Amino acid sequence: TPTVRQLLAPGTPSSPNSIQVNGWVKSVRRQKRVAFAVITDGSSTEGLQAVFTDVALANDLAKGCAVRLTGVLADSIGPGQAKELQVQAVDVVGECNPEEYPVNKREMTVEYLRDHCHLRTRTDEMAAVMRLRDSMTRTMQDYFTNLGFTYAHTPLVVSNDCEDAGETFRVLAPSEGISASPAKEASPSPATERDDEKHPEHFFGRPAYLTVSSQLHLEALATSLSRVYTISPCFRAERSQTGRHLSEFWMLEAEWAFTNKVDDVCQVVEGAVRQALLRGGTELKLLRETLPEERLAVFERASAAQPWTRITYTDAIRELEKIQSTSKIFNYGPVWGQPLRSEHERWIAEQIVQGPTFVTDYPVELKPFYMRLNDDGKTVACFDLLVPHLGELVGGSLREERMLYLRKALKRDQLDAASYDWYLDLRRYGGAPHGGFGLGFERLVSWITGVENVRECIPMPRWAGRMLL
């Protein structure tokens, strides 16, 4: 049985023979001598127009019911669609009471749909987001495949907190319970060969966490496969209730060996995001329908501009200070050594640059232990990619490949060198200069489509206080 997308594809011949189509009824319109219904199977933004010259055939149809239609695919004489199905037989395979159907309402707020997230991909917009995620994944896979990267599967249950931000979820086996002493949980036990003997109270022989980032594992793989990437779920127990944060989100991460310039990493990121920008498609068109002209202009400019602006953190702070001293527009004054606030990030991308901006070389105190120290001893070889209307889309860096500096960084951040011994091995044995980045997949979808909140860029969102199914 063909999908609706296949039937509507240009070039699909009309056929005198009967075909069958499966789908759900989106709408029904009854006239005296003819009835119409739009059928969707989620394969395309457009539904298939079904025409019933035998009006009685449409009697049992209502929005939401699942049907199998038999009919003839013909060129449509009416306006609005190229093809229509002239229906000969109807089989209602799943009824749906339109009075009770939760997504049969005229006004459905974003909140209402979140409360019904098991049903909300039935709306045109959410279905479009789902298809866009699918094709975006392929766009990214093609991009990295062409650059010679290997797609790798990294673990979700891990022994470390990659970002050392204290936002990891613990994983407990039934036997572990919650009685394990918090003091013991605070720092992972040293990696030894027989942890299970030392710590039988832990299922894995040590505390286990859900991954916040695949980076450290990708670094390990990059020491053998040179260029690796993954698209993986990440979990963060952060309480930020913003339109950019989820507790469970997907990250595209890439890591490669034999790079020693931050700019190389920026170039790969720029190429990937540009591919996403150039995708097009009916899903994007539908989702961008209500976007103001100025937002669309940003995409136009970003697609054309090459390369995107690079500015150091130090220069960015200087620019922000200038603005603050003359116009006091920020709630928080920019201060060297402090994180950029989201109002600062947006100002840089929206006002100073008016396009995607790589802010590079942040102060060492603001960034995790693994970033490579610059010669100034104060900043690290890293970047955040900031984009208009969203803020941070990507973070990346060169990784510290020098044993001495890495040990110092672990000490500075009070991390237990013994638990990172495997990570030090990557430097001990053939450690090559390397770097990589992580891109929030929902944030990419949100930025590209203009869908305001990442909660609408993933089918079943999770955030602090919310996990419906």
Residues near ligand 4AD (CB under 6 A) are 162-163, 213, 215, 236, 238, 245-246, 249, 251, 253, 392-396, 436-440, 442-443, 454
For residue 406, the partner it binds in Mg ion, ligand 4AD, none, with Cβ less than 5 to 8 A by kind, is none
461 binds Mg ion (CB under 5 A): no
Complete edge-to-edge strand list for the sheet that includes strand 248-257:
150-151, 227-235, 248-257, 434-440, 391-399, 382-387, 357-360, 309-312
Residue number, nearest CB to Mg ion: 395
Report the interhelical angle of 421-428 vs 215-225 (nearest 10°): 30
If the CB atoms of residues 229 and 299 are measured against ligand 4AD, the closer one turns out to be 229
Residue 30 CB neighbour total at 10 angstroms: 13
Residue from 23, 42, 368, 395 touching Mg ion (CB under 5 A): that is 395
Q: Which stretch binds Mg ion (CB under 5 A): 55-63, 244-252, 257-265, 391-399?
A: 391-399
Q: How far is the CB of 125 from ligand 4AD (least distance, A)?
A: 20
Closer CB to ligand 4AD, 188 or 440, in the complex: 440
Nearer to ligand 4AD, 48 or 385 (CB): 385
Cα–Cα distance between 360 and 379 in angstroms, integer? Answer: 9
Backbone phi and psi for residue 148, each to the nearest 5 degrees, phi listed first: 85, 25
Q: Which amino acid is at 280?
A: G
Closer residue to ligand 4AD (CB): 162 or 348: 162
Of 388 and 395, nearer to Mg ion (C-beta) is: 395
Residue 334 or 436 with smaller CB distance to ligand 4AD: 436
- Which part of the chain contacts Mg ion (CB under 5 A), choosing from 171-179, 279-287, 329-337, 390-398? 390-398
Structure tokens at 87: 């229906």
- Report whether 126 contacts 113 (CB < 8 A): yes
Cβ of residue 120: shortest distance to Mg ion, in angstroms? Answer: 29
- Least Å distance between CB 163 and ligand 4AD? 5
Tell the smallest beta-carbon distance from residue 385 to ligand 4AD (Å).
8
Segment (H or E) for 35: strand 35-40
Nearest in space to 468 (alpha carbons), one of 3, 118, 111, 71: 118
The two structure tokens encoding residue 49: 């127009």
Contact between residue 397 and residue 451 where contact means Cβ atoms under 8 Å apart: no
Binding partner of residue 245 among ligand 4AD, Mg ion, none, CB cut-off 5 to 8 Å per kind: ligand 4AD
Q: Which two tokens stand for residue 34?
A: 């003819």
Binding site for Mg ion (CB under 5 A): 395
